[in-house]
Structure 1
């Protein structure tokens, strides 16, 4: 029902300190995906989908906060899940990546693991959706906000056909970006949801631009 991307980026903040940011973005042909699938914190990013088990995301972040590696954390959760073969679960932490697609997910389904990125999807038009999503991110300009580049990655997947269920017009999309940096003003555009629309990626892009504009205006007024 979904395709999503999780990423890890290292960067240097304005004070010259090393930081890490994590991002996750997702879209599907059902409403409200932002409440179910994407999870991110200063410890990592996770997406849980197909027959969604929200606890895999919530508890996954808890395990990462406790110091477990993402492979150990998500493998343990899946091993305890009777419905594991209906799940897709993937993500990144400070050290590694993890991706799983159960054998009972809807065709086309599959996933991709890169050095700092994972992409997974099910009920897609084809493998090219996942490939285009990953390629868009991996070729993106790091000078642009990660939130924007995540929207661009979803758009690239949609251009390849995205979720194939064209009889379901009401769709949704969401993104979350988190980092280790302690910012006085957290950018408003790092946690966005479009819960019900027929143009989820376009609507998410418009929401990003308005949230970014609002953030910049607020900085001018209050910083």
Structure 2
């Protein structure tokens, strides 16, 4: 019923310090996917889907924060989950990638593990959906656009290939979440954005990100000095 992507990227901040950002993006033909599937912190990104068990995502990022590798963390959770044959679980940590699709997931289902990213989907129109998501990420990962906007392009590419095959379900949703090791005076609002119930999730999410970007730029222009003073004073 869902397809999603998790990524890890290394970059340098304005001071030349090496930082890491993690992102996860997901869409489905049900409402409220942003509350169920995507999980992220400064240690990794995890997506849980196909008969969702939110504990897999919640504990997954907690285990990554505790220092476990992504493969060890997610395999441990699956081993303790009686419903694992029906699950899809994938993600990235500070090092490594992991993807699992249980053999009781609904066709078409499958996953891709690439360099610093994972993609998975189930109840899709076909393999081309996840392939297009992966190809779009690889083609855009060196672009200057914020990660959230590039992840949206990945979702759009998967949707263009058919996405979720259950066309009788008109209510859809989508979400994008990004976390960084870098501390910023103002966190961009588009790094945690979602649409919970709509017939056009990609279009609506794109408009929401556009408005969130405008809001972020306005906040920087008007309040950045105040935010920086608060950060320096520990408030």
Q: TM-score range, shorter-chain basis?
A: over 0.9
Aligned mates of 1:202, 1:134 — CA distance in 2: 20
Structure-2 residue corresponding to 1:107: 107
Task: Establish whether residue 91 from structure 1 lines up as the match of residue 91 from structure 2.
Answer: yes
Q: 1:184 offset after TM fit, Å?
A: 1.2
Residue aligning to 2:68: 68
Q: Which residue of 1 aligns with 2:204?
A: 203
Give me the whole-angstrom Cα distance separating, in 2, the residues matched to 1:92 and 1:142: 20
The yes-or-no answer on 1:25 pairing with 2:16 is: no
Cα distance between partner residues in 2 of 1:59 and 1:94: 16
When normalised by structure 1's length, the TM-score is 0.99
Q: What is the match of residue 164 of structure 2?
A: 163
Runs of 5+ consecutive residues of structure 1 not aligned to the other structure: none
CA distance in 1, matches of 2:64, 2:108: 30
Task: Work out the CA distance in 1 between the residues paired with 2:185 and 2:155.
Answer: 29
Partner Cα separation in structure 1 for residue 167 and residue 54 of structure 2:
25
Whole-Å separation in 2 of the counterparts to 1:64 and 1:21: 14
The equivalent of 1:182 in structure 2 is 183
Question: Which residue number corresponds to residue 154 of structure 2?
Answer: 153
Q: Deviations over 1:24-64 (max 9, x none)?
A: 00000000000000001000000000000000000001110
The answer for the alignment partner of 2:118 in structure 1 is 118
Where has structure 1 moved over 4 Å in runs of 4 or more?
none
Task: Please tell me the root mean square deviation across aligned C-alpha atoms, in Å.
Answer: 0.5
Structure with the greater alpha carbon radius of gyration: 2
1:88-141, CA deviations, whole angstroms, 9 ceiling, x for partnerless residues? 000001110000000000100000000111000000000000000011011004
Give the 3-state SS of the residue equivalent to 1:131 in structure 2. Answer: helix
Counterpart in the other structure of 2:46: 46
Name the residue aligned to 2:220.
Answer: 219
* In 2: Cα distance, 1:128 partner to 1:136 partner: 12
Distance 1:138 1:205 in 2: 20
User: 1:90 and 1:202 mapped to 2: Cα distance?
Assistant: 26
Gaps spanning 5+ residues in structure 2: where? 225-235
TM-score (norm 2): 0.94
- Could you tell me how far 1:142 is from its partner in structure 2? 2.7
3-state DSSP of counterpart to 2:72: helix
Q: Is 1:7 aligned to 2:33, yes or no?
A: no
2:233 aligned residue: none
Shift of 1:9: 0.3
What SS does structure 1 have at the residue aligned with 2:10? strand
The alignment partner of 2:157 has SS state of: helix
TM-superposed deviation, 1:72: 0.1
Aligned length, in residue pairs = 223
Give the distance between the partners of 2:205 and 2:110, measured in 1 at CA: 24
- What SS does the aligned partner of 1:182 have? coil
